[in-house]
A and B are shown apart, each in its own frame.
Chain A
Amino acid sequence: SYELTQPPSVSVSPGQTARITCSGDGLPNQYFYWYQQKPGQAPVLVIKKDIQRPSGIPERFSGSSSGTTVTLTISGVQTEDEADYYCQSTDTTTTYQVFGGGTKLTVL
């Protein structure tokens, strides 16, 4: 089955740059999506189609893609960015949706 692998945790200081990776074991050319989830809340889409930022998402959030790995970059991290982040994509052979295991971003 298709799997997406994320680091369990990333820690940065305020103002620094946080990078969260997501690696897929399938073929490339599938879009990836990123979600931010704060405790007790529903996830929020922060990056769509690898690199696009939905309306209302701050410019400090950006996405990039290389092969079967995508990266969520948060530039100038703020304390309010502390949250869990999940990547999501589609298994090309089955069209099932898959989430990565999630990365806890800690802003020290």
Chain B
Amino acid sequence: QLQLQESGPGLVKPSETLSLTCTVTGGSIDSFYWNWIRQPPGKGLEWIGYMYYSGSTKYNPSLKSRVTISVDSSKKQFSLRLTSVTAADTAVYFCAREWGGMDVWGQGTTVTVSS
């Protein structure tokens, strides 16, 4: 059974870069769309972007200038980089597999932007 696990720093300083990794276990990363979604405290879900296993990417236009999603197939990991963070980037960050819906999600990791 495929599982996803997010990892990365829980605290990032303003203006710095947020970096998270999602590790895929129990299945292949060589297919599907691999998404990042976030949820600010008390708010709804916001799609950040996805990478298709072949390397093509799509990003939320509101974040596009600051976001990079990449994949390391050998490690079965895909990653999120968000530059120049502010307090507005404080959220729970989820990774999710998508193939006819986002059918597998990680448990989420909380990232706080604060000095």
Residues of chain A touching chain B, judged by Cβ–Cβ distance below 8 Å, are 1, 31, 33, 35, 37, 41-45, 48-49, 54, 84, 86, 88, 94-102
| Chain B residue with the shortest CB-CB distance to A32 | B101
B-side contacts of A35, CB under 8 Å: 45, 102
Indicate if B58 sits at the interface (CB-CB under 8 A).
Answer: yes
Residue pair A99, B58 in contact (C-beta under 8 Å): no
Q: Using an 8 Å CB-CB cutoff, how does the interface string of B70-99 with A read, 1 for contact, 0 for none?
A: 000000000000000000000000100010
Query: A76 CA to B26 CA in the complex, in Å?
Result: 35
Main secondary structure of the interface of B (DSSP, over half): strand
Q: Using an 8 Å CB-CB cutoff, how does the interface string of B43-67 with A read, 1 for contact, 0 for none?
A: 0111100100000001011000000
| Interface CB pairs A-B, < 8 A, 6 | A42-B94, A54-B101, A84-B44, A96-B47, A96-B60, A97-B35
Residues of chain B touching chain A, judged by Cβ–Cβ distance below 8 Å, are 35, 37, 44-47, 50, 58, 60-61, 94, 98, 100-103, 105-108
B-side contacts of A101, CB under 8 Å: 44
Query: A42 CA to B102 CA in the complex, in Å?
Result: 11
Query: A43 CA to B60 CA in the complex, in Å?
Result: 19
Residue pair A99, B45 in contact (C-beta under 8 Å): yes
Known: A42-B105, A97-B50, A101-B44. 15 other contacts (CB 8 A): A1-B61, A35-B102, A37-B45, A42-B106, A43-B102, A44-B105, A48-B100, A49-B100, A54-B101, A54-B103, A84-B44, A94-B61, A96-B58, A96-B60, A97-B47
